[in-house]
Amino acid sequence: MADAVDEARIGWVRQALSDHERSLVRYVARLLGDEEAAREVVQEAYLRLWRASGESDPRPGADGHLRPWLFTVCRNRALDALRREGRMRTMELDEAARAPSPRPGPSEQAEKRESMGRALEALERLPASQREVIRLKFQEGLSYKEISAITGHSVGNVGTLLHVGIKTLRAALSEDEGVTNARRRTP
């Protein structure tokens, strides 16, 4: 029988789930190149959150770091999964980068390509470590410090990855500006 304490815990996990699961799945899907596998990883992370919430006091993330905690667990699990599948021999993420991205159907793909902004196109061409940090920063709104905690890069390193990544993107965009504009005008 679930008692009141359990009810509260369940409510807490439910909230954490509805608040963050979507961005976690999106993030992990990028790492694994597989959205279904990403869902698994994210659910495993929440299962861990649930269990940890019964064992440790205070609860993980009770200090306001729930979101980075979940990202960290998801990332570690995702890397485990990649290692298990032999798709990654080291902690190097670039390996995973070459894995196919989440597999949408052909029509979805066409749609995606059409709606994909120029910055996103360029982003896909960056090294995986920069891409990951850029996504964590601009898609998930995490701070340098939180990104550092999640990825294991030092805060300074996070700053450098972001700086270099943005610089490359800017160069890429200004380079094909003319081309893109011309293409846009003739659909």
Partner 1 sequence: MSIDANDPRLTAYALGELAGEERAAFERELNGDAALLEEIDAIAAMASLLEGELASEEGEGLGAKGQEAFMAGLAVEASAGRPGRAVEGAACEAPSARVIPFPFWKVGLLASAAASVLLLLVYVGTATMAPGDEAAVASSEAGTPERGWEVAPPEQEGQEGQEGEQGSTTEGLKVPVGEAPSAPPVSATPPPDAVSPTVPMPPPVSTEPVVASADVANGDGHVTITAKPQGVQLRVDGRLAGGDLGTLKLQQGFHGVVPGQGQADGYGAFGLLGGHQDEDVDGIPTDGDGRWRSGVARGESYAKVEENAFKDVRTDPLSTFSVDVDTASYSNVRRFLRRNTLPPMDAVRIEELINYFDYSYAPPQGDDPFAVHLEVADSPFDAAQGGAPARRLVRIGLKGREIHAQQRPPSNLVFLLDVSGSMEAPNKLPLLKQSLGMLVKQLGEKDRVAIVVYAGASGLALPSTSANQTGTILGALNRLNAGGSTNGGAGLELAYRVATEHFVPGGTNRVILATDGDFNVGVTHGGDLQRLIEDKARSGVFLSVLGFGMGDLHDRTMETLADKGNGNYAYIDTPQEAQKVLVDQLSGTLVTIAKDVKLQVEFNPAQVQSYRLVGYSNRMLAARDFNDDQKDAGEIGAGHAVTALYEVIPVRGASAPGVDPLKYQAPGTLTPEAASRELLTVKLRFKQPDGDTSTLRTFPLEDAGRPLSQASADLRFAAAVAMYGQLLAGSAYNEGVTWARTRELAQGALGVDAHGYRREFVELVDVAARLER
First to last CA, the chain: 62
Asked if 9 touches partner 1 (CB under 8 A), the answer is yes
Nearest approach, Cβ of residue 69 and partner 1 (Å): 14
Nearer to partner 1, 52 or 99 (CB): 52
Nearer to partner 1, 46 or 69 (CB): 46
Q: Which of 100-105's residues contact partners 24+ apart within 8 Å by CB, and which partners?
A: 100/33, 101/30, 101/33, 102/29, 102/30, 102/33, 102/34, 102/35, 102/38, 103/34, 103/35
Mask for 20-59, x = binds partner 1 (CB under 8 A)? xxxxxxx--x-----xx--xx-xxx-xx--xxxxxx----
In this structure, are residues 134 and 67 in contact, taking their beta carbons and an 8 Å threshold?
no
Residues that bind partner 1 (CB under 8 A): 1-2, 5-7, 9-11, 13-15, 17-26, 29, 35-36, 39-40, 42-44, 46-47, 50-55, 67, 80, 84, 112, 115-120, 123, 134-135, 137-141, 143-144, 156, 159-160, 162-164, 166-167, 169-170, 173
